[in-house]
Amino acid sequence: MLEHLKVSDFGTPRRESEQEVTLEIDGNQVTVPKGTSLMRAAVDAGIQVPKLCATDSLEPFGSCRLCLVEVDGRKGYPASCTTPAEAGMKVRTQSPKLQELRKGVMELYISDHPLDCLTCSANGNCELQDMAGVTGLRNVRYGFDGANHLKSEKDESNPYFTYDASKCIVCNRCVRACEETQGTFALTISGRGFESRVSPGMDEPFMESECVSCGACVEACPTATLQEKSVIWLGQPEHSKITTCAYCGVGCGFKAEMKGNEVVRMVPWKDGAANEGHSCVKGRFAWGYATHQDRITTPMIRKKITDPWQAVSWEEAIAYAASEFKRIQAKYGRDSIGGIVSSRCTNEEGYLVQKLVRAAFGNNNVDTCARVCHSPTGYGLKQTLGESAGTQTFKSVEKADVILVMGANPTDGHPVFASRMKKRLREGAKLIVIDPRKIDIVKSPHIQAEYHLQLRPGTNVAVVTALAHTIVTEGLLAEPYIAERCDDKSFNEWREFVSRPENSPEATETTTGVPAADMRAAARLYATGGNAAIYYGLGVTEHSQGSTTVMGIANLAMATGNVGREGVGVNPLRGQNNVQGSCDIGSFPHELPGYRHVSDTTVRNEFEAAWGVTLQSEPGLRIPNMFDAAIDGSFMGLYCEGEDIVQSDPDTQHVAHALEAMECIVVQDLFLNETAKYAHVFLPGSSFLEKDGTFTNAERRISRVRKVMPPKAQYADWEVTMLLSNALGYPMNYKHPEEIMAEIAALTPTFSGVSYQLIEQLGSVQWPCNAAAPNGTPTMHIDKFVRGKGKFIITQYVASDEKVTRKFPLILTTGRILSQYNVGAQTRRTDNNQWHSEDRLEIHPVDAEDRGITDGDWVGIQSRAGDTVLRAVVSERMQPGVVYTTFHFPESGANVITTDNSDWATNCPEYKVTAVQVMPVTQPSEWQREFSRFDKVQAELLEQRHAAESVVGK
């Protein structure tokens, strides 16, 4: 095997046991936990037993018979992968007889194998090849004349990997990977004996089966049978680096396997604590956008958005942006400009943007897209528990007995965590789902939720309060825990409040749509079913009462004693890869790094001393306030790094008007996204493959992002922010993001122990990481809450202003799909489009029939904010009265419909509740026609830049 690609494989999974057994293998004494296989014990003793069907990410299967050993006092030759080590055993892994048996096994495999090793894509990285070498096979007695599979057809339907049945040794690893690791159960071995073959679904091509293209089977396959197409095209990689996925908040570790500066494949990292060697279709395969032809790699400027773009040097672009910002501030005042930094950026980049705004712009007008997703989490958990973050590791779910999923769709949004959760559910943990839709996890192979509380969108607070009512009035409180750890006064007030008859499941049934009996039963299960863990997502936060629901969730967890140990907790499933991090490092207008308010003089003094400037003590503008101020004429300049506010923020037309009103918009991005079409300066961004830094996932885990190729446009994003700051007269001169992290650590108590060196040493680290927790904090609030006593907060339900009426009788709610990611700027530029090439409107059959809508019809969706047109999918996943769409394609205009209602505490938009009417139509909406026109004009203005350049070149 190619040396650099080797990963240690212990053959069978690690067993945990307090009991240990000592045995002898090939004369070596070895002590292992009880239950460990002989194969794994041998590896511990430094001995590799030949194997093909075993790998340590999967339970042993015992089919290949290559790992046979001899055990004193036992008859025959047991398979070492399926035989547990016992005290006092004497095992031999090598003997002439074993050698003969193994050779015989290999001979049978090889006699039905193409033996085109020299031209095989796995050449140098094939376990069958390795085993032929290890067993000393020198010739094969059987010819290829008999029946064989050498002419089997390849299945090339999946865009990312092939299935070449002629190379299959029927080891079952792929089938087990799909079941045990991924939990999709898409593969079976069909046929018997010689006829047995791997088959997706009912003998369908991969693309027509249940397969979700996670790649677990490809990873598990020991031969070239399941092989990445990129490896077939490019050949085996020659070096690799560990980095972190830049899509979702799971934060999977990957090994970027490279040839020169070209990625050959992304292999999920076995030692990545967030994913333990698993992946989803996005991180595993959807990285082609990084080298897509649409990338813009030269800086551009223009005076007006109706002008063609001018390609300029970095110096010119930066000088122009700086002079515009200075001009605007001179004319409209210090507070007339601001910055937005995406939570897709690294911690170090986010930190620099907020520093630029506070120190160089001289105001606090900085915000991040966490505003529009998890800002209520930050607020709600800080109020109740004392820290704006989830309480657990992902691994903790392995100890949960009851899992409550609320307003999250993990199989689409957080797939690798979903696989982990599903594994625990298959082991017997009970599931409660609170969601308006019948999402996949409600019922999937070997999983069935005990309770699906299919609430009406917008009634989360009434639901959490009714659950609390049941817990309190049925005497299910964890009284000793509350007495010891929570604040008495707030608890008593909360208890009195939730006990009121108007908060009972029966009284709120008509509001929530959840049958009272189910509500009560779910509350009982959560309170009494053992370790109970809550996982929630944007279906909780993106509401006018998002912060109230978060606090309601924390109340439930405290009231039942479910915070402060493994298997329990309150766990926000963060959307973007670095939502947690961008909040931690001070991207909000009211907080300096470490969630410290800008009005805190002591904290401000520390930053003023370190940064050599005077800081403002008043919070700056939030994103929606920036838009309003732009329309009012007081906010005229914006630096926007990595965020596509036009597509992702609600009420698109309002956002577009705000941008049109501004005098200088600087967009730093990979592509000319929707926001860049309103920009005056375009600064090319860098992908996660082109820079160093860190991301912090939903577990508070800080992991390294490592540069595997040089920036396509010369600079990494953090360097561009430095250039702008320097041009504005505020010097920044970091040589490497490591220095930025050192500054964050020096100024932020919860990060004081964090360093690149520590991350290198541990693989990743979960904050708080400081003198009290030098190696980080996997579980929070263990002995007491961060705020001291846990605080209960009253959760009074207030119906959203967004009401259904005769004119707008349905509620629209929005979300994501597995294969696309948010605004789709990256995933739309990959083959992931083969799974989802347009956003569609899901509608219940009854609502569809009432309107004469059938599957695939074009339908107009009209709200108080605007209207758009999508194709319909008639689906029983919906409840009557509720429709649903994704928002991955700009032309869909999902956010043309969403309103500017927002969370009372944080302004997080109410994406999940929009009253709409849906009707069949025959043509695009007016907004869509205008979108197409504007898009065409902007494409031409970009095209003209190319023309100007080529003229100059001549």
Interacting residues toward ligand FES by CB under 6 A = 51-54, 62-67, 79, 81
Please give the residues from 273 up to 312 whose contact with ligand SF4 meets the rule CB under 6 A: 275, 279-280, 282-283
Among 186, 724, 793, 882, binds ligand SF4 (CB under 6 A): 186
Nearer to ligand FES, 109 or 361 (CB): 109
Tracing tokens 């695009």 back to the chain, one arrives at 924
Please give the residues from 392 up to 451 whose contact with ligand SF4 meets the rule CB under 6 A: 414-416
Is residue 778 a contact residue for ligand SF4 (CB under 6 A)? Answer: no
Is residue 198 a contact residue for ligand SF4 (CB under 6 A)? Answer: yes
283 binds, among ligand FES, ligand SF4, none (CB under 5 to 8 A by kind): ligand SF4
Size of the site for ligand SF4 (CB under 6 A): 41
Is residue 177 a contact residue for ligand SF4 (CB under 6 A)? Answer: yes
213 binds, among ligand SF4, ligand FES, none (CB under 5 to 8 A by kind): ligand SF4
Dist. CA 32–CA 85, nearest whole Å: 8
Give the nearest distance from C-beta 699 to ligand SF4 in angstroms: 12
Q: What is the residue type of 531?
A: N
Dist. CA 840–CA 853, nearest whole Å: 13
Nearer to ligand FES, 62 or 201 (CB): 62
Which range, of 182-190, 301-309, 552-560, 884-892, touches ligand SF4 by CB under 6 A?
182-190
Tokens of 348: 């170090």
Is residue 178 a contact residue for ligand SF4 (CB under 6 A)? Answer: yes
Nearer to ligand FES, 67 or 486 (CB): 67
Q: Which of 164, 174, 157, 158 is nearest to 114 (CA)?
A: 164
Cis peptide before 768 (omega within 30 of 0): yes
Say if residues 151 and 113 touch (Cβ distance below 8 Å): no
Distance of alpha carbon 415 from the chain centroid:
7
- Class of residue 565 by CB neighbours under 10 A (exposed 0-12, middle 13-18, buried 19+): middle
Nearer to ligand SF4, 168 or 406 (CB): 168
Tokens of 731: 């010097």
Q: Which of 578, 574, 5 is nearest to 245 (CA)?
A: 578
Among 40, 102, 113, 173, binds ligand SF4 (CB under 6 A): 173
21 binds, among ligand FES, ligand SF4, none (CB under 5 to 8 A by kind): none
Dist. CA 342–CA 823, nearest whole Å: 12
How far is the CA of 385 from the CAs of 472, 490, 658, 769, in angstroms?
Answer: 20, 13, 37, 18
Give the nearest distance from C-beta 57 to ligand FES in angstroms: 14
Question: What letter would DSSP give residue 27?
Answer: T
Dist. CA 182–CA 185, nearest whole Å: 8
Dist. CA 335–CA 327, nearest whole Å: 13
79 binds, among ligand SF4, ligand FES, none (CB under 5 to 8 A by kind): ligand FES
Is residue 373 a contact residue for ligand SF4 (CB under 6 A)? Answer: no
Among 63, 80, 135, 182, binds ligand SF4 (CB under 6 A): 182
- How many residues appear in the chain? 954
- Coil, strand or helix at 519: helix
Please give the residues from 200 up to 219 whose contact with ligand SF4 meets the rule CB under 6 A: 200, 211-217
Dist. CA 810–CA 860, nearest whole Å: 13
- 317 φ, ψ to 5°? -65, -45
Annotate each residue in 141-170 with x if it binds ligand SF4 (CB under 6 A) or - if it does not, as one string: ---------------------------xxx
Q: What is the residue type of 837?
A: S
Give the nearest distance from C-beta 81 to ligand FES in angstroms: 3
Tracing tokens 């008495």 back to the chain, one arrives at 488
Which range, of 246-254, 646-654, 657-665, 781-789, touches ligand SF4 by CB under 6 A?
246-254
Q: Which of 926, 935, 803, 936 is nearest to 868 (CA)?
A: 926
Which range, of 82-90, 272-280, 534-542, 662-670, touches ligand SF4 by CB under 6 A?
272-280
Is residue 344 a contact residue for ligand SF4 (CB under 6 A)? Answer: no
Dist. CA 81–CA 41, nearest whole Å: 10
Nearer to ligand SF4, 211 or 482 (CB): 211
457 binds, among ligand SF4, ligand FES, none (CB under 5 to 8 A by kind): none
Q: Which residue is nearest to ligand SF4 (CB)?
A: 283
Give the nearest distance from C-beta 66 to ligand FES in angstroms: 5
Q: What is the residue type of 540?
A: V
Nearer to ligand SF4, 280 or 532 (CB): 280
Dist. CA 305–CA 656, nearest whole Å: 12
Pairing mode of beta strands 300-301, 591-592:
unpaired
Return residues touching ligand SF4 (CB under 6 A). 168-174, 177-178, 182, 184, 186-187, 198, 200, 211-217, 220-221, 223, 225-226, 245, 247-248, 250-252, 275, 279-280, 282-283, 414-416
